[in-house]
Homo-oligomer: A and B are copies of this chain.
Amino acid sequence: MADPHPALLMFIGARYVEQRVSEAVLAAGYDDLTPAMARAAARLRDDGIRVTEIAEQARITKQSASVLVDLLERASYVERVPDPADARARLVVLAPRGREVQKVARRVERAIEREWTRHLGAERMAAFKAALTDLREITDPYR
């Protein structure tokens, strides 16, 4: 490829991080997490999230999201609790085991960010992150 589109380079970088994280999580002994489960789990917030919200953000149907949450729940990574604000809905929250995995993932993510900063230098890295953040404004329909 003579001059690859920025999007391809972005994809390559994102895929690299996903692989590094999933390897580390596997190495830490969590071998029952599939990539799809992990991607769904990555959407979790501390205050809980609805299945429908996971689906929107991950761009999958609510049925698919529901299956993934089932799997995560069965493996004790998350719990479903009733949403106090809406009796139709249930909130997906991290269970203790999920919080442990999250810690492992966060640690790898920070390590990669340091590696990238070392490679580009602090200044270029900051500019890079700022550009990504600005581009999100025109590429991310979910804020």
A13 contacts B132, C-beta separation under 8 Å: yes
Is A107 close to B, CB under 8 A? no
- Flag if A14 contacts B11 (CB, 8 Å): yes
Complex formed: what's the CA distance from A128 to B135 in Å?
11
Interface hit among A2-10, A24-32, A78-86, A95-103: A2-10
Does any Cβ of B come within 8 Å of A18's Cβ?
yes
Count how many chain A residues have C-beta atoms less than 8 Å from C-beta atoms of the other chain. 40
Complexed CA–CA distance, A27 and B138 (Å)? 21
In the assembled complex, the Cα of A131 lies from the Cα of B128 at a distance in Å of 7
Which residues of chain B have C-beta atoms less than 8 A from A14's C-beta?
Answer: 7-8, 10-11, 14
Whether a CB of chain B sits under 8 angstroms from the CB of A59 is: yes
Contacts of A10 in B (CB 8 A): 10-11, 13-14, 132
Q: List 23 A-B contacts (CB under 8 A).
A: A5-B113, A6-B113, A6-B116, A7-B13, A7-B16, A7-B17, A7-B109, A7-B112, A9-B133, A9-B136, A10-B11, A10-B14, A12-B136, A12-B140, A14-B14, A15-B59, A116-B135, A119-B134, A119-B138, A120-B134, A124-B131, A127-B127, A127-B131
